[in-house]
Amino acid sequence: MAESQTGGGALIMRLIKHKKHWTYNADNMADIVGTVRQRIADYADGKNGWNGSSMTGGARFTGTESLDHAVDLFDNGWTEGARQILKGQADVAANGGLPDLTPSFDWDIGGEFPDVGAFCAGVPEHMANPAPFNNSVASVIRIAIPGSVPSNVSADKIMRYGVALMSIIDGIQESGRSVALSWDLTCIPRNGPRGLEQIHTNIPLTTPGAPIDVSRLAFAFHPSMLRRIWFAAVEINPELSVLGGSYGGARDARDKKHREPGTIYPPGPWALGRENKLGSISQAVKALTDVINRELFADQPRAD
C-alpha cells in the first residue's frame, strides 16, 4: 500500500493505493475545497493539470458559471437548493413520511415498568415493553450520498435527487435520530495499471449531533460538487490521470465488498433515472423513502 498527499498544511487530500483499488479521501469538505483553491491558483500560474474540465465545463453541464462560482456556493451556501429542500419536505409528508422512529411501547399485564396512571385506573395491560420494531433502529443513521454520476444525467435531475434525499434526511432528524452523512464516489479508471479496478473518494459532511447548515450541505447534491469540485481535486494530482479524459467510468455505488458496515448506500441519480423515478421531486422522494425504510428496518421483527 502506497500513500501520497495533495495540498499543503491542513488542506490535504490523501491518495492511498491498494492492490485493486485506490482511495482519494479528505477529512471534511474544507479539505477538498482547500485543494480546489490550490488548483485555481495553479491554473492562474499556467499550470493546467492533466485535464481542465473543472475550469472549462459549461453551466448546463455543471450548474455553475465557473469553478470560482462553485467554490462561492460552497462557502456561502446554495440558497436555491435549500429553498427547494423546504418544498421537498412537504412531499415527504404527503408521501406518508418515514415510519415513526421515536421510541414506542407495547402494553401487557407484565413488562419492564408500569404506567402508574393506567394501574390506578384498573387497566390490566399497564406494564410497558419497548416495541422492538422501532426501538432497534440505530440512534445514529449513516448515509453515504452517491457522488458518481455519468455525463448523460442532467444537472436538473441531480438537483432533483438532492432535494429529495435531503428532505428525507431532515425527516429522519425530526424523529430524534442523528444522521452522519458522507459524500461517496466510485469510478473505474480508464487508463489504470493492470489490476486496478476502482477509485473511491469519501468525504464526511456532518458530525452526529451537530447542527446542519442546510444551505451549505445542499451543495453536496449540486452537480458542481462532482463536475467542478471533485474534477478540480483530481486534476491537481498527476497520478490520478489514470482516470482518463472522462474522469473514469461512473459507478452508481460502491461494490458491497468495499462498503462500510452499518452505512446506507442509497441508489444514485443514475439508477433512479434509469427507472424513471426522477420525473419529479415527489417521485424521487417516494423511491428513496422506500429504499431507506428497507435498509433501516432490515431484519427487524414485525408484529403479526
pLDDT tens, position by position, 5-63:
665 443 479 999 998 999 999 998 888 988 999 999 998 898 888 999 999 999 999 99
Q: Does 299 have pLDDT greater than 60?
A: no
Q: Does 180 have pLDDT greater than 50?
A: yes
HSE toward the beta carbon, residue 130, CA cutoff 13 A = 9
Q: Tens of pLDDT along 104-160?
A: 556 667 766 576 666 667 777 767 665 544 444 567 889 999 998 888 888 888 888
Q: For residue 103, what pLDDT band results from cuts at 50, 70 and 90? A: very low
Are 4 and 15 spatial neighbours (Cβ–Cβ below 8 Å)? yes
Q: Tens of pLDDT along 265-287?
A: 998 888 888 888 888 877 888 88
In angstroms, the Cα distances linking 12 to 9, 29, 200 are: 7, 11, 16
Q: Which residue has the higher pLDDT, 4 or 190?
A: 190
What pLDDT is recorded for position 134? Answer: 45
What pLDDT is recorded for position 216? Answer: 82
What pLDDT is recorded for position 8? Answer: 46
Are 233 and 249 spatial neighbours (Cβ–Cβ below 8 Å)? no
Q: For residue 302, what pLDDT band results from cuts at 50, 70 and 90? A: very low
What pLDDT is recorded for position 102? Answer: 45
Closest CA to 265 of 158, 144, 163, 160: 144
Task: State what percent of residues in the chain have pLDDT above 70.
Answer: 79
What's the mean pLDDT in 241-266?
Answer: 88
| Least confident residue range of 78-82, 153-157, 208-212 | 208-212
Q: Does 206 have pLDDT greater than 90?
A: no
CB within 8 Å of 19: residues ≥ 6 apart: 195
Amino acid identity for residue 276 in this structure = N
